[in-house]
Amino acid sequence: MFNLLFVFMMVPLIGCMFAIMAKRNDSNAYFVSLFTTFSAIIASLLLFSRINYIGDGMQLKYSFLWLESMNIILTFGMDIFSLLMLLGIYISFAIGLVGLPEADRKNKTLQVMILLLLWLFTGFFAADDLVSFYIFFAGMLIPLYMAIGLDGNIRKKSTLYLFFLYNFAGILLLLFAIMIAFRFYHGNMLLREFSLIKMPMKVGLFVWGGVCLSFISRIPIWPFHYWISSISSGIKNPLVYIVTNLMPLTGLYGFIRFWQSAIADSMRAYVPIMVAFCLLTMLFIVLTGIARKQFLYKLFSYMTVYYLMFLLAVVLLSSIFLTDTLLMNIGYALFIFLIVNSSLVVLDLRLERESAIHKIEYKGVLAYMPKLAAVFAYFVLIAIGLPISSMFWNNFIIISALFNFSFFIGLVVMVAILMISIALLYELYLMRDLQTYATNNIEFSDLTRSEQAFFISIILILFLSFFNPLWFVF
């Protein structure tokens, strides 16, 4: 068990080393990335078969002594939730790699940064102690910043710098909080032990405030969402876009791991402020998304609304309704959420590239790409919540729990989801307008057979999840 977990964590790092040794200006590094990603998917499925579904806490643990003089032991482990998140991330990476344009496949530096990020994601979701959790949390920023700078098509470099500084501030806040906590607990500690540290009230509020703000720095919350939304709207590389929009998941996961009932008690006075900003951001980002013409910005608005809905569920329901069952509902919903978003990003950027080649607007382009249109429409229907995947039932349970907690909060969340769903449907309608290019003799490049087979397999996974979310292992 321990060896399998260790190998599982090392797969992306080994792939990164092979990518570094690949020649430049060819696709060798790309094929290394593709092979590594699918190997990680297979390894994660093997780990699923070794985890007890009803087990409590991290399982399959692997520990080793890092700094003996400071008594720092790094501990890694897996549970169903963290492994489900990693599987969703791996599939998202695979979708991004398959949808990568030919020119970007030869960018060796980008492939190295992507594989490094894959390793950091793996370590972050496997970390069970405070030091390793922080190392991987902080380590993600540099390769992400480089990937965006290399192939992000960011016009305003000042926005990229602000994005870096904003996230770097969150890293420093978490570091300061950990250093203060170490004064009251000598040596490294498991994540679940952090809430048991006895600290004076004022010190505890400062520590927990730093922890929460560090995770919030990864989630696009008003008024600091601007740098994140500006970065996302400018990215035209599907893989970089997917990776960038996986960062809020790390902030959400941090709240899930740290926000115990004890934390909720110490931060009770500040919870309404966080909730108010979440609800305000939801409404603001939805209205902004509706006003924008880009489908990717609407998709970013959709992602933000759902990330904030999951955050509200964790923060508000942690001490009341957040049972293991509800937490797994959040996990199942996030798993489908990641796959659907990644697929929509790849397909939409494919439409934009085709439109750019023929120098036309991409409204109506789906009418001339029937295979892509069918796949694209299916993912949009899942995204808006129609009952064709397990995401429908999981979101229904989460929203119902929010309504039970507060009718007003549940209503705002429901309105935001409804508005952005209508915006996505309307955009789909415009893309299928048969009259747009009826008089033009334009030939569009539809999905190839291999691309059709790949997306059909993704659709099959989502369809079967409607009956049993973990049908592939249980």
Output the pLDDT for position 201.
76
Q: Which residues contact 67 (CB under 8 A, 6 or more apart)?
A: none
pLDDT in tens, 5-33: 888 888 999 999 998 888 877 778 899 99
| 231 vs 79: CA distance, rounded Å | 33
Give mean pLDDT, residues 152-161: 68
Look at residue 129 and give its three-state secondary structure. Answer: strand
pLDDT, greater one: 199 or 249? 249
pLDDT in tens, 356-393: 776 766 677 777 788 888 888 889 888 887 777 777 77
Q: Has this prediction a pTM greater than 0.85?
A: yes
Domain boundaries, the chain: 269-474
For the chain, counts of helices (H) and of strands (E): 20, 2
DSSP state of 26: S
What's the CA dihedral at 34, 39, 40, 43 to 10 degrees? 170
Could you tell me where the DSSP H helices lie in 358-448? 370-383, 390-405, 407-431
Output the pLDDT for position 1.
45
Within 10 A of 80 (CB to CB), how many other CB atoms are there?
Answer: 22
Using only C-alpha atoms, the chain has a radius of gyration, in whole angstroms, of 22
| 474 vs 462: CA distance, rounded Å | 16
Output the pLDDT for position 153.
61
Give mean pLDDT, residues 449-469: 84
